[in-house]
Structure 1
Amino acid sequence: MADRVTVIGWDGSPLSRAANAALSAATLVAGAAHHLALPEVPERAERIRLGSVDLAGRRIAAHRGSAVVLADGDPGFFGVVRTLRAPEHGLEVEVVPAVSPVAAAFARAGMPWDDAQIVVAHPRTLRRAVNVCRAHHKVAVLTSPGAGPAELALLLDGVHRTFVICEELGTDREQVTVLTSDRVADHSWRDPNVVIVIGGGPETTATGAWIAGRDPAYPRGVRGWALPADAYRDGGADTVGETGEGEFPGLRAAQLARLGPRTGDLVWDIGSGSGALAVEAARFGAAVLAVDSDPEACARTTAAARTFGVPVQVVQGRAPHVLERLPEPDVVRIGGGGVPVVTAVADRRPERIVTHASTRDEAEALGGALAANGYRVDCALLQTVELDTSAWSERERSVVFLLSGVRSDLAP
């Protein structure tokens, strides 16, 4: 095992005294081509071009002497430190950090970033990174070849955002460009770059933030979820009937529990009604696309999202036809439309689907459609009775069949 391993961050500025001391004593130096070309790298040292960090880790572990790993920015932030410390390498490292690309990007933009979401986009994770950009007001994206600004913008089609694109930070070719998302794909961008994606809600102005990656005023709004229908009447639903069939809080709670929306997901809410489920899924950090054929329901959903301060994209159209042009979902709630809509949704292969039925025959038909399309189906009969606590008398009774489908290849 190497006698000493020092990981040095580089941001284009002169190296610190500690970094220079570690390099001058190094017998092995690993890094990208531009790192190995630095004049501070000793001529006598063995050099390893960093391609696979795992392979480099094995070489470093077998080396006898002092090893240095050079990496861009802060190597402990989405960097090589985690890999080098992994059990298979067992390396104890000293870290000399530089300014991370994310910190540098926000500095160039003149913006605070303690409330930003930060994601890494590779071709295999690009869709989830895009969903975070849909769901949050401020996101920094560390890009990679094949998952850069143009690809982000194309997948955000129909969602307006502002991009701050920072190319080759810390070099002589550094460039910062501000564009709206609809214009980003018209350009070619140099790697590496960091993209700050802004939009999806008002800029926060509260001070006294205490937790990273959250609105400075977090937590705010109403505590809890599966809120009563009254909570959504400010969004334009004046009566319980206007919140939509099957939208009572008990059913909504069960649907959300089975969907399990989370950061990086895209939720379809088909038949959004009052927007209650769409808003609550968004409050879990998921991106939400709400669909309804009724323009008044679309307006209520938009108003509810505004009231609760969450971004929800609303699409007016009738399922199943409108679904053909929507981006791929992770989980879907179907508020109506019967077997044709269930079948169309199942064809898109989301991980989970929930829907409901008012009769056993309807439940059997919907469950059969889910099963025929490769989903493991569960069904429960939910009955709730709302009581007037002033007289402890029955106020309202709801009975509904809840159906949930989990894609068979994911079912435990």
Structure 2
Amino acid sequence: MITVFGTGTGTPVPAEVLAGARLVVGGRRHLASAAVPGDVEQVVLGPLAPALDVIERHLDKQDRVVVLASGDPGFFGIVRVLAERFGAERLDVRPGVSSVAAAFARAGLPWDDAVVVSAHGRDLRTAVNVCRARPKVAVLTGPEAGPAEIGAALRADDRILVVASALGSPEERVERVTPAEAAARDWGTAVSVVLCLDGARALGAVRTVAGTTPGPAQWALDEGEFTHRDSMITKFEVRALALARLGPRLGELVWDIGAGSGSVAVECARFGAAVVAVEKTRDGVERIRANAAAHGVDVRAVHGAAPTVLSDLDDPDAVFIGGGGRELPAIVTACARRARRTVVVAMAAIDRVPAVREALTGAGFTCDGVLLQSSRLAPLPGEVTRLAATNPVFLLWGVRIPDPEEGVAQ
């Protein structure tokens, strides 16, 4: 049997947990704080594989094994690895208070509406995009993915970072800083967790289901759900297919280029993606912000003309291009060079289709597309109905061809 004991935030290891153990495994600080008998073998956790091999040898001899871990070891912890190797039925898990729970307690906030994301040994960009998209996020940090790196990535976002270090120890520190302040400091190795908060929405609403909100109940919203100018908005029929091809999801970044009213940007944000909407008119930028606020989502609106303004943005997973004029091929080329997964382009002029196809295929994308031409039911006098045609729109999409040596971008 393997007893997995979570030390919580400063919880001592009781003597009865160690009684009868022939092997105790844990981090150096866990072993130093536990009263391990001198005749018991100890293994300091570093690379997991050697430690697991030692555990297996002791289990083969029917020895009792104790594994010491931080907080709740079933929460982004060692329980998963142990269950996969030895079977869940051989584990006696005794959880402590997780660093996430402790950090929110120190901040005086409920966390049933928080999203928890791990950047320990994982790509930091996923955690950063979740922080951009959600108002309350806990980030489990790691080497090269600490408060400084998170802060540097979120400089342009209106967020507060709560950095909790050495939770439960005499050296415990809980500090509220801006992303810029976090980026300018050396935080050392004692950081337990970083909370990323939208100050205006930190309390959140009463929840029934914990964690991230489910996907939207409805998408391809009617044009009337958005403020727009002179019907300059991507029609819902086009938006529906564009969303299907973009595949926006939590942890990813989407660009909406030539965003206009921001209808595509808002819908992508409703699916959980982090979104940057680029618009060259100042009144358009204000409409994007108003529409995002009306739908309760975060969209970063950038004033400027593509492709010039794109150089200051982080690389996207997916891009929607709904404007561009004569610059459209150059914009598509610039976006395709940086998009990790897909580019979707909507255009009214048939003359631009060949150039857009060439730009996508030339950047290493497959290319497909359709002409969307819909007719909507419209009332006529006398309680009868006619079909009112909408303007035809070409929708082209490119999907990056996987590099056989690198695999598909994730």
Scaled by the length of structure 1, the TM-score of the pair is 0.91
Change (3 A) 1:169 1:160: same
User: Is the contact made by 1:53 and 1:80 (CA closer than 8 Å) also made in structure 2?
Assistant: no
* 8 Å CA contact 2:265, 2:299 repeated in 1: yes
Q: CA deviation at 1:368?
A: 1.2
Match of 2:386 in 1: 393
8 Å CA contact 1:135–1:200 kept in 2: the answer is: no
Q: Sort the Cα spacing of 1:202 and 1:15 in 2 relative to 1 into closer, same or farther, 3 A.
A: closer
Root-mean-square deviation (CA), in Å? 1.9
**In the TM superposition, what is the alpha-carbon distance from 1:13 to its structure 2 partner?**
3.6
Q: Deviations over 1:294-336 (max 9, x none)?
A: 1111111100000001011000000000001111111100112
Q: What's the offset of the Cα at 1:361? A: 3.4
Name the residue aligned to 1:113: 111
Q: Equivalent of 2:220, from 215, 226, 231?
A: 226
- The 8 Å contact of residues 292 and 316 in structure 1, kept in 2 or not, is answered as yes
Aligned to 1:162: 160
Q: Which amino acid aligns with 1:309?
A: G
Of 171, 194, 208 in structure 2, the residue corresponding to residue 173 of structure 1 is 171
Query: Matched residues in 2 for 1:148 and 1:39: separation?
Result: 28
Mapped partners of 1:200, 1:379: distance in 2: 42
Q: Tell me, which stretches of 5 or more residues in structure 2 are unaligned?
A: 403-407
Once the two structures are overlaid, the 10-residue window that deviates more, 222-231 or 271-280, is 222-231
Q: How do residues 354-373 of structure 1 correspond to structure 2 at under 5 angstroms?
A: 354-373=344-363
The answer to whether residue 340 in structure 2 is matched with residue 350 in structure 1 is yes
Matched, 1:5 2:2: yes
Shift of the alpha carbon at 1:200?
7.4
Q: Secondary structure at the match of 1:377?
A: strand
- Pair 1:11–1:55, CA change in 2 (3 A): same
Q: Is the 8 A contact 1:73 1:100 kept in 2?
A: yes
CA distance in 2, matches of 1:316, 1:334: 15
Partner of 1:304: 291
- Rounded Cα–Cα distance in structure 2 between residues aligned with 1:123 and 1:157: 23
Q: 1:75 to 1:258 in 2, by over 3 A?
A: same
Shift of 1:205: 5.1
Letter in 2 for 1:8: F
Which residue does the alignment assign to 2:36?
Answer: 41
Tell me the equivalent position of 2:208: 210
Q: Which residue in 2 is equivalent to 1:83?
A: 81
Asked whether the 8 Å contact 1:271–1:335 carries over to 2, the reply is yes
Separation in structure 2 between the aligned mates of residue 359 and residue 309 of structure 1, nearest angstrom = 34
Identical pairs, percent: 44
Specify the alignment match of 1:255 in structure 2.
242
SS in 2 for 1:94: strand
Q: Look up the SS of the partner of 1:398 in the other structure.
A: coil
Rate the CA distance shift 1:223–1:292 in 2: closer, same or farther, 3 A: same
The answer to whether structure 1 residue 284 and structure 2 residue 271 are counterparts is yes
The counterpart of 1:71, out of the listed 50, 69, 72, is 69
Partner of 2:405: none
Q: Does 1:331 align with 2:326?
A: no
In the TM superposition, what is the alpha-carbon distance from 1:182 to its structure 2 partner?
A: 1.9
Is structure 2 residue 50 aligned with structure 1 residue 55? Answer: yes
The 1-side partners of 2:374 and 2:238 are apart by 9
Matched, 1:195 2:194: yes
* Native 8 Å contact 2:12 2:33 kept in 1: no
Partners of 1:200 and 1:311 within 8 A in 2: no
Q: Aligned partners of 2:199, 2:360: CA distance in 1, in Å?
A: 34
- Counterpart Cα distance in 2 of 1:232 and 1:201: 23
Question: Which has the higher mean CA deviation after the structures are superposed, 303-312 or 173-182?
Answer: 173-182
SS of the residue 2:373 aligns to: strand
Q: Distance in 2 between matches of 1:50 and 1:292?
A: 51
Q: CA deviation at 1:396?
A: 3.3
Match of 1:29 in 2: 24
Which amino acid in structure 2 is aligned with residue 6 of structure 1?
T
What runs of 5+ residues in structure 1 fail to find an aligned partner? none
What is the deviation of 1:275? 1.0
| Preserved CA contact (<8 Å) 1:8 1:70 | yes
Residues 225-244 of structure 1 aligned to structure 2 (within 5 Å): 225-233=219-227, 237=228, 239-240=230-231, 242-243=232-233
Count of aligned positions: 393
Deviation of 1:350 (Å): 2.4
Q: CA deviation at 1:204?
A: 4.3
Question: How far 1:121 sits from its partner (Å)?
Answer: 1.1
Task: Report the Cα offset of residue 161 of structure 1.
Answer: 1.0
Distance in 2 between residues matched to 1:347 and 1:205, nearest whole Å: 38
**Residue 367 of structure 1: CA displacement?**
0.9
Aligned twin of 1:103: 101
Aligned to 1:274: 261
Please tell me whether the aligned partners of residues 54 and 83 of structure 1 are also in contact (alpha carbons under 8 angstroms): no
After superposition, what is the alpha-carbon deviation per residue over 1:90-149, rounded to whole angstroms, capped at 9, x for unaligned?
462110111000001011111101110111113641111000100010111111121100
2:156 is the alignment partner of 1:185: no
Provide the rounded CA distance (Å) in 1 between the counterparts of 2:11 and 2:203: 35
